[in-house]
Structures are given as C-alpha cells and as structure tokens.
Amino acid sequence: MTNQIMVKMVLDTWYSKIKEADDIFNKLTDEQLQKAVVPNRNSGIYLLGHLAAVHDRMLPLLGLGERFYPQLDKAFIDEADNADTAKTPAAGLRESWKKVNEALSNRFNNLKPDEWFQKHNSVSAEDFIKEPNRNKLNVVINRTNHLSYHTGQIIFLEN
C-alpha cells in the first residue's frame, strides 16, 4: 500500500512536469526554438533534443526496452550546443520528444509498485544490496528534477 502511494507521488510529479514542458514547447514556434535561451547559452532546439535523448536513455536504464533514438546522443548529450545543432529540424525533435515520453508512460503503467523498488541497470547487484535507494523510482525522481531545471530555462523563450 505504501509502495503504491510512493509510486503515485513520484509519477504524478513526473507527469505534471512533462505537461509543463510540453505546454511551453507547444507554444513556441520553430523559429523561437532556434534562439538561445540566454545569449551564448543553449538554444531551445538543443534543450528539446537534450531532453528527448536523456528520456530515451531511461528506457534501457529502467529495463523497459531498447531506446528509439541513440543517434541523438552525439549532438545533444556528448557535445555542447553548436552551429550544427541549430540546423536540426524542430519537427523531428518534437516528434522524438513526444514518442519517447509516450513510450515511457505506457511502460510505467505496466510496472507493479514493487518493481519500482528494484535496481536500475546502472547499478551492480552487489552495490544495490548496500544502496537499495538506487532503484528505478529514484531514476524518475532525478530525471524529473533534470527536466524542471531545463524547463526553468526554456520558459525564457516565451514572449
């Protein structure tokens, strides 16, 4: 029962922050996304691709299947924002962002409360015995904060 409540607390927050980011991205035109959120910092395009890539990586990390877009990592995780990123068409990234979050949502729904407290795939079985907090639900807590951090930045692209 308590596990179920905890999972609800974490997932409700995740979904509300996804919706908050979605609402901003949907309001922004492709032209607005090309702009840097602050002069000489990341563009909206970069942050959209970055968030899509980070969320895509959650699929294998949580044992929820193969990822869809490993090709996003080079431009949106390994490298900083650059002139090439700005040329990436927004439409494709918007679609990736949507598809990844829908896939996560569908697969989250199939996990039983207790499964959320199992280890994620970046921690060894040995370490997990000592640190049972390194479980799947903790990944969602961390990624929700990562999303909030960048949402605080993309909001600056709104007029």
Residues contributing to the site for its own copies (CB under 8 A): 2-3, 5-6, 8-10, 12-13, 17, 37-38, 41, 117, 132-133, 135, 137-138, 141-142, 144-146, 148-153, 156
Considering beta carbons, is residue 37 or 45 the nearer one to its own copies?
Answer: 37
Secondary-structure breakdown of the chain: helix, strand, coil percentages, each rounded to the nearest 5: 70, 5, 25
Tell me the DSSP string of 60-106.
HHTTS---S-TTHHIIIIIS---HHHHHS-HHHHHHHHHHHHHHHHH
Query: At closest approach, how far in Å is the CB of 142 from its own copies?
Result: 7
Query: At closest approach, how far in Å is the CB of 154 from its own copies?
Result: 9
> How many CA atoms lie within 13 Å of 1's alpha carbon, on the beta-carbon side?
0
Considering beta carbons, is residue 68 or 128 the nearer one to its own copies?
Answer: 128
Query: At closest approach, how far in Å is the CB of 101 from its own copies?
Result: 17
Considering beta carbons, is residue 32 or 153 the nearer one to its own copies?
Answer: 153
d(C-alpha 61, C-alpha 12), whole Å: 20
Chain centroid to CA 46: 13
Query: At closest approach, how far in Å is the CB of 118 from its own copies?
Result: 12
